[in-house]
Amino acid sequence: MGGVPTGSIVRAGLIGGAGAIFIALVGLYTKFADLALVGEQITLGRLLILAPALVAGYAVTRPRIVAGERRSVPFGPGVVVGVATGLVGGAVFAAAVAFADWFGVDRIREVFVAVTEELVDFLTFDKGVPAGLPLLIGLCVVGGAVGGFARTAPEAVRRPASAGVLAVILFGLLQRIIPIVFVELGFEADWLYERSAGLTWFGGLIVFVVAAAANALWNRDGGRTRERVRRNVEQAPAAKVGLFVAILAILTILPLLLGTVISEVLGSVMIYVLLGLGLNIVVGYAGLLDLGYVAFFAFGAYTTGVLTGAFLNTTTGAATPALSADLNFYVAVWIVALLAAGVGLLIGAPVLRLRGDYLAIVTLGLGEIVSVITASKWAQPLIGGPQGMRGVTKAEVFGLNFQDNPQHFYYLALAFVLLAAFVSWRLSTSRIGRAWNAMREDEQVADAMGISTTKFKLLAFALGGAIGSLGGALFAVSIGSLTPASFEIFVSITALAVVILGGLGSIPGVLVGALVLIGLPGLLREFEEYRLLIYGGALVAIMILRPQGLIPNVRRSRELEDEEVSQDAWAAAAGARSEPVAAVLPGGGLGVEQEDLE
């Protein structure tokens, strides 16, 4: 069918059906059954019914290599293939629902707690098992068709359409934030959103049209406009500065627009931006995979507590730690960073000879050691052990309180983020960054070219550790009390996910990665318990679709097209200075590479 083997369709359909069953078993459907995105009918739960079929339909209509030739699936047959895929997937899903109903929901619930009568009602649209199943299958068929459409429709249609749909979903999900922004800016939001629900039908239509139109403009003349904008931003310093100022302005004004609750989320985003920036130096610049980054986070937090006069929680009340100082936060934080750099050297020294997997395992262990220490009896006199510490400084200055006011805290964190970003940026464009880059690409050759890999590995661990400890220090200030539960391996993994999702070695990437991975789940409270599932899904998706990250490091993703353009420009500038002599290379083994012999 349209060049797609029947076997592939069946397989994709089965996988899609299995995906839907998985979503049902983990309880996502019941969780989001009532989260309306547009009007009352389009809920996130229903969207999730057609999502697996959509993904399957999209995947199965991918271009295939037939007899050494890449063949795209044509538009019409593509949709038909999608429908067939959705039909298979829907049938599997419906069969599973029918089975659950026949077998007894209560018996299944003994193992899968999410399987309830409610779930069956939701999946059969409250029509009961035989009657509702065709609707379920129908929705899956729609999903498959949309998937086929999204892959095979003409570019000029599918790109704007996809952008519009994604925008509507995003606006629907952000239904608690966008109306606040509208009201803060002095606009009405009633036409756009239902009261404490999703978009209105009219609002949804507007969002769709605006996003689709914007996307169409962006792609005009086959993406030339996009290329031109991108090149301007990349090459003109003024455009770069302008973009930076715009981002900074948005970051500055954001908490004022969004109020305290959301500012709290933004505060934790900023903490993870700091962690991400620090880890980015170690992993992104120097190429040392560190899975124990929580060590620096914990060190920064507890050291800040100790240096600013926090108390230990004990069974008999508050106690002063064995070592304690009562410093001003703005003095203490630099000491913390300095000490953390020392810890970075300590952690770095034993792992200098290790690479890749081995380095990752050992740092994982070192991170765990720090986690265990924070919870240990042994460290109780110093940092409180399992009971932890409280009374960390509020970092008050000029009467501003950075612990109880999330908006103030956000600005404090932003200041540290800007500092860390500046340091990262300067380092990455310096001799030091170049040395890290060379080391990451080929350690042995970097050594042979005169770069002391020992020195630069330790430097990366020290600087990365110092920046990470600032994240810990701010975390301590923001919550005021510290317990070992905050310093588990999850922190390391999240920080690494932020860096990878954003794009290794990319400073704006860290910001975007943290916004997506910390900000979105924080804003969408409903997602909180599915956070890990979302991280996993997001990372798998990014590795498949965009392995260089959301905002990749420019250097590393430079595209061939750019080279061609600059080559043309150079040739034009060089004029008739020298005519390249066409030469046939012996053996022709060099393939596409060309050599100009003058």
Partner 1 sequence: MSAPEHLLELTDVAKHFGGLYALSGLSFRVDPGEIVSVIGPNGAGKSTMFNVVTGLYEPDDGGIRFRGANIVGLKPNQVTKLGVARTFQTVHLFPNMTILENAMVGQHCRTRSGVIGSVLGLPGTRREEKRIRERARESLGFFGSRLAGYREEQPASALSYANRRRLEMARALATDPALVMLDEPTAGMNPRETLELRDHIVRMRDELGLTVLVIEHDMRVVKGVSDRVVALDYGRKIAEGSYDEVANDPQVIEAYLGTKALG
Longest CA–CA separation in the chain, Å: 88
Tell me how far, at minimum, the Cβ of 25 lies from partner 1, in Å. Answer: 43
The strand pair at 311-314 and 36-38 is best described as: unpaired
Angle between helices 329-348 and 294-307 (to 10 degrees): 140
**Contact between 438 and partner 1 per CB under 8 A:** yes
**Which is closer to partner 1, CB of 66 or CB of 560?**
560
Helices (H), 219-323: 220-235, 237-279, 294-307
Applying CB under 8 A, the span of 278-286, 377-385, 530-538, 557-565 interacting with partner 1 comes to 557-565
Tell me how far, at minimum, the Cβ of 183 lies from partner 1, in Å. Answer: 42
**Contact between 576 and partner 1 per CB under 8 A:** no
Tell me how far, at minimum, the Cβ of 365 lies from partner 1, in Å. Answer: 27
**Contact between 447 and partner 1 per CB under 8 A:** yes
Q: Which residues, 390 to 429, sit near partner 1 by CB under 8 A?
A: 422-423, 426-427
> What would the x/- binding string for partner 1 be over residues 526 to 555, using CB under 8 A?
-----------------------------x
Tell me how far, at minimum, the Cβ of 422 lies from partner 1, in Å. Answer: 8
DSSP-assigned letters across all residues of 40-109: TTEEHHHHHHHHHHHHHHHHHTS-EEETTEEEPPPHHHHHHHHHHHHHHHHHHHHHHHHHHHHH-HHHHH
User: Which one of 430, 528, 529, 537 is in contact with partner 1 (CB under 8 A)?
Assistant: 430
Is residue 73 within 8 A of residue 2, CB to CB? The reply is yes
**Contact between 590 and partner 1 per CB under 8 A:** yes
Is residue 414 within 8 A of residue 256, CB to CB? The reply is no
Which three-class secondary structure state does DSSP give residue 591? coil
Q: Which residues, 458 to 497, sit near partner 1 by CB under 8 A?
A: 459, 463
# residues near partner 1 by CB under 8 A: 48
Tokens of 491: 């922190």
Secondary structure of 496-551 in HEC code, one letter for each residue: HHHHHHHCCCCHHHHHHHHHHHHHHHHHCHHHHHHHHHHHHHHHHHHHHHCCCCCC
For 70, phi then psi, to 5°, come to -85, 120
Q: How far is CA 163 from CA 224, 371, 450, 459, 598, in A?
A: 18, 43, 49, 43, 48
> How many Cβ atoms are within 10 Å of 239's Cβ, its own excluded?
14
Tell me how far, at minimum, the Cβ of 260 lies from partner 1, in Å. Answer: 34
Which three-class secondary structure state does DSSP give residue 197? coil
Is residue 495 within 8 A of residue 501, CB to CB? The reply is no
> What would the x/- binding string for partner 1 be over residues 242 to 281, using CB under 8 A?
----------------------------------------
Applying CB under 8 A, the span of 244-252, 287-295, 318-326, 442-450 interacting with partner 1 comes to 442-450
Q: Is 390 left (phi over 0), alpha (psi -120 to 50) or beta?
A: beta
What's the CA gap between 454 and 98, in Å, rounded?
63
User: Which one of 127, 240, 434, 525 is in contact with partner 1 (CB under 8 A)?
Assistant: 434
For 112, phi then psi, to 5°, come to -105, 100
What's the CA gap between 83 and 48, in Å, rounded?
17
User: Which one of 238, 450, 544, 545 is in contact with partner 1 (CB under 8 A)?
Assistant: 450
Applying CB under 8 A, the span of 32-40, 189-197, 275-283, 453-461 interacting with partner 1 comes to 453-461
Give helix then strand counts, H and E, for the chain: 25, 7
User: Which one of 188, 444, 561, 576 is in contact with partner 1 (CB under 8 A)?
Assistant: 444
Residue with tokens 């507590």: 305
**Contact between 561 and partner 1 per CB under 8 A:** no
Tell me how far, at minimum, the Cβ of 430 lies from partner 1, in Å. Answer: 4
Tell me how far, at minimum, the Cβ of 395 lies from partner 1, in Å. Answer: 24
**Which is closer to partner 1, CB of 110 or CB of 595?**
595
**Contact between 579 and partner 1 per CB under 8 A:** no
**Which is closer to partner 1, CB of 237 or CB of 450?**
450
User: Which one of 41, 570, 575, 579 is in contact with partner 1 (CB under 8 A)?
Assistant: 570
**Which is closer to partner 1, CB of 543 or CB of 590?**
590
**Contact between 435 and partner 1 per CB under 8 A:** yes
Tell me how far, at minimum, the Cβ of 299 lies from partner 1, in Å. Answer: 20
**Contact between 566 and partner 1 per CB under 8 A:** yes
**Contact between 598 and partner 1 per CB under 8 A:** yes
Contact residues toward partner 1 (CB under 8 A) are 422-423, 426-427, 430-435, 437-438, 441-442, 444-454, 459, 463, 555-556, 558, 560, 563, 566-567, 569-570, 574, 578, 583, 585-586, 590, 593-598
